[in-house]
Amino acid sequence: MKKITLLLLILCGFLAVYSQNEESCINKVVELTKDMTQLETTLRAANDSISRLIEAHKSEVSKLSNAKQTAEQERDAANKKVKELEKDLESKSELKKQVKDLEAEKKDKEKEKKNLTDQVAKLTSENQTLKQDNSKKGDEITAAKQEGERKATEQYKAGEQSVYARNYQGNFDDLIKSSTLLSVQRDLALAGNDAAIKKKLEDLKKYFSFQQLLSEPYDKQKVAEALRQIAGIEQSDEVKKLTEKLQKYELYSNGLQKRIEDILEIDKNSPTYSVDTYKEEKQKDMLYVISDYCYNYYSYIDYPYLSKTVSEIIRTIAGDPYGQGIKDLGKKDLGKK
């Protein structure tokens, strides 16, 4: 009985202890549950904050990515430029040599241009002198012809037609120098039936008619016909000279046409504003072209129409290389080719 009682006492004590421990554990579980709930709330709030931060920085990250790409492109472009500069540096010495050669060539051209310009001035002066001499000789010839015509008229009025036969018995070159187309045409009416005199007068008429072609723009058809007919008249020195001039007329005319085209090309490619520096340079270039013609076609003065045209071109260039006169050179009539 005592043992049973003792066991009961022990059991009761154990139950009391167990009951106290269970209550304590339950309290701890409750507390832990509260803590877990708080932690979950805190964690959720943290996740929300992280999501907002990530969203806010997406555009900034995109900008940084674009900036990086741009920087890489600029770096590649810079590397390419560096390589090009290195290549340029390698050829720099060669370019310097070329520049030096071009400068030397330019000086030679300027010297040549100056020489030709001086030649133009000289030729122009000589041309003027020749014109004066020709004018003086022309006056003398005109006076002699007028005197001859006066005497011929007096002789005709006196009924001495036979004098024409005596006048036209001389050397053909002398007859050319002492006659004119008008005097020959007049004397043809007085030649009568003298076939020899009429033949000489007809030849003189042809000569003066063919000579007149040199005072007109070149006409290929007329010149060809003149060359055909001139072969049938007396081949004196003056006739041979005229034949040679007619044969070369096309060559001289084409040469002047080419120089006019070159002058118009200079006008087209030169600066459009008239500054003294550009004006002087333009004049030099144009005078160089026309002086080249005068130098290579030095007998152009034997062609009155070409000589007159050259003088007009020189005056136009010397006046104003930027004026309308330069453009009007393209309208010059150099004949039918």
Q: Which of 205, 301, 295, 206 is nearest to 245 (CA)?
A: 301
CA distance 98 to 115: 26
| Rounded average pLDDT over 262-290 | 83
Domain contains 201 = yes
Q: Is 194 helix (H, G, I), strand (E, B) or coil?
A: coil
Domain contains 59 = no
Question: Does the predicted model carry a pTM greater than 0.75?
Answer: no
| Rounded average pLDDT over 82-108 | 65
Q: What is the pLDDT of residue 84?
A: 74
Residues 6+ away with beta carbon under 8 Å from 139: none
Residue 163 pLDDT class (50, 70, 90 cuts): very low
CA distance 51 to 55: 6
- φ, ψ of residue 219 to 5 degrees: the values are -130, 110
Domain contains 42 = no
Per residue, the 3-state secondary structure of 195-249, as one string, reads: HHHHHHHHHHHHHHHHHHHHHCCCEHHHHHHHHHHHCCCCCCHHHHHHHHHHHHH
Domain contains 290 = yes
Highest mean pLDDT among 5-9, 23-27, 266-270: 266-270
**pLDDT above 60 for 160:** no
Residue owning tokens 């013609």: 293
Q: Which domain holds residue 179?
A: 108-331
Domain contains 89 = no
CB 116, CB 288: distance < 8 Å: yes
Q: Structure tokens of 57?
A: 């920085």
Residue 159 pLDDT class (50, 70, 90 cuts): very low
**pLDDT above 60 for 179:** yes
More confident residue, 192 or 186: 186
Q: Structure tokens of 205?
A: 């008429």
Polymer length of the chain: 337
**pLDDT above 90 for 154:** no
pLDDT tens digit string along 187-203?
887 777 778 888 889 99
As for how many domains the chain has, the answer is: 1
Domain contains 203 = yes
Q: What is the pLDDT of residue 29?
A: 59
Domain contains 132 = yes
Domain contains 37 = no
